């Protein structure tokens, strides 16, 4: 691990002020991803800003009937909240499908949104990776790609985004509230937060340097049955090969979001409009433009089958 300086702050304002004064600073909350990456010398911050004591750990109702989730609310507390379980079941189910109980106790809402890919080539510093070292190349091209992306990819990067929570939040049309280092607050549509690789795979979100996530806003609850199906190689300690979050009505209409196939949760309103027509048409529209490899092309059918299982369950 590289040497770094450490600072503990007690307010949001102190946090962004510290970030403004220190180049290459990182915020530390639960640390479930950042510390691992620092040990591997993938993340090499010069300064750590400990934000674990600045508040932001409450879930409060909003005037429009939604919920405001503080960025430091733990995954455990968010999944267990009575309002989330009652009105946002898809979110609670997605959280419980992720990681282990111990990790959920430490992992935070904001940190979950910022976790980095679990691509094996990203984690192996002996392999070329454009996320770690822009312009170095992508060792996944021509390598083992079974777990990697099938849509929204480029030759620069095939990595997928690993969060379960984010797939549900994408479905729910959440918004992310932040504070920039100049003191400016802003609100970001969830669909605009995570970035596809393009020619800059090292840029994974729309955050500016030092910008701090303060909360996530959930709109009023979606009526209908809530589902989260996660398909993985083993029942625990495994990230999704494909995951599908859905809220469906009795007539089969509704919304879906898919994880495990791209560098961000994947949604298509055009595909959602086809839900009453069946999983085949939905998957075909959702995956338009897909570019799978021989190793991961099974994901295309797996998306269809997972959507089909939810549609069947909804009819039961």
How many Cα atoms occupy the beta-carbon half-sphere of 3 within 13 Å? 0
Structure tokens at 9: 């702050």
> Is residue 196 pLDDT above 90, yes or no?
yes
Q: Which residues pair with 213 in a beta bridge?
A: 178
DSSP3 helix / strand / coil % (the chain, rounded to 5):
30, 20, 50
**CB-based contacts of 36, cutoff 8 Å, min separation 6:** none
Q: Give the span between the Cα atoms of 200 and 79, in whole angstroms.
A: 34
154 has pLDDT over 90: no
pLDDT confidence of 99, banded at 50, 70, 90?
A: confident
Residue 185 has pLDDT above 90, yes or no: yes
Burial (CB count within 10 angstroms: exposed 0-12, middle 13-18, buried 19+), residue 1: exposed
- Per-residue model confidence (pLDDT) at position 235: 84
The pLDDT, as a whole number, for residue 237 is 80
**Fold agreement (5-51, 225-315):** no
The CATH number that domain 5-51 falls under is: 3.30.43.10
Per-residue confidence (pLDDT) for residue 1, from 0 to 100: 78
> Using CA atoms, how far apart are residues 220 and 238, in angstroms rounded to an integer?
32
Confidence band (pLDDT; 50, 70, 90) for 228?
Answer: very high
Q: What pLDDT does residue 225 have?
A: 98
Distance between CA 173 and CA 37 in Å, rounded? 30
| Segments making up each domain of the chain, as ranges | 5-51, 225-315
The domain defined by 225-315 folds into Enolase-like; domain 1 (3.30.390)
Inter-CA distances, 205 with 4, 59, 102, 194, Å = 24, 24, 27, 4
pLDDT tens for 115-130 read 999 999 999 999 999 9
Please give the share of the chain, as a percent, with pLDDT higher than 70. Answer: 100
Backbone angles phi, psi at 75, to 5 degrees: -60, -35
Q: How far is CA 94 from CA 19, 120, 177, 240, 248, in A?
A: 32, 23, 21, 11, 16
Q: Give the model's confidence band at 316: pLDDT under 50 very low, under 70 low, under 90 confident, else very high.
A: confident
Confidence bin at 178 (pLDDT 50/70/90): very high
Query: Over 90: is that where the pLDDT of 187 sits?
Result: yes
Reported confidence tier of residue 42, pLDDT bands at 50, 70, 90: very high
Please count the other Cβ atoms lying within 10 Å of the Cβ belonging to residue 10.
12
């Amino acid at each position: 691990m590289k040497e770094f300086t450490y600072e503990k702050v007690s307010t949001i304002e102190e946090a962004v002020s510290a970030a403004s004064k220190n180049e290459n600073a990182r915020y530390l909350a639960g640390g479930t991803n950042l510390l691992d990456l620092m040990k591997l010398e993938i993340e090499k911050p010069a300064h750590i800003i400990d934000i674990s004591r600045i508040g932001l750990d409450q879930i409060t109702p909003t005037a429009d009937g939604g919920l405001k989730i503080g960025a430091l609310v733990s995954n455990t507390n968010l999944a267990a909240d009575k309002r989330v379980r009652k009105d946002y079941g898809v979110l609670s189910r997605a959280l419980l499908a992720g990681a282990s109980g111990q990790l959920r106790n430490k992992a935070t809402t904001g940190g979950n949104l910022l976790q980095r890919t679990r691509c094996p080539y990203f984690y192996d510093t002996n392999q070329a990776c454009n996320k770690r070292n822009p312009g170095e190349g992508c060792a996944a091209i021509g390598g083992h790609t079974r777990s990697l992306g099938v849509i929204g990819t480029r030759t620069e990067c095939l990595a997928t985004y690993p969060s379960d929570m984010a797939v549900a939040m994408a479905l729910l049309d959440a918004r992310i509230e932040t504070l920039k280092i100049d003191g400016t607050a802003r609100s970001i549509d969830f669909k605009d937060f995570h970035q596809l690789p393009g020619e800059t795979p090292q840029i994974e979100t729309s955050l500016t340097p030092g910008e701090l996530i303060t909360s996530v806003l959930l709109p009023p609850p979606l009526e209908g049955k809530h589902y989260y199906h996660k398909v993985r190689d083993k029942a625990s300690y495994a990230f999704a090969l494909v995951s599908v979050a859905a809220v469906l009505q009795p007539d089969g209409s509704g919304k879906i979001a898919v994880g495990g196939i791209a560098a961000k949760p994947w949604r298509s309103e055009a595909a959602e409009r086809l839900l009453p027509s069946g999983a085949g048409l939905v998957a075909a529209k959702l995956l338009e433009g897909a570019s799978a490899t021989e190793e991961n092309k099974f994901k295309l059918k797996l998306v269809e089958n997972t959507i089909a299982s939810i549609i069947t369950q909804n009819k039961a």
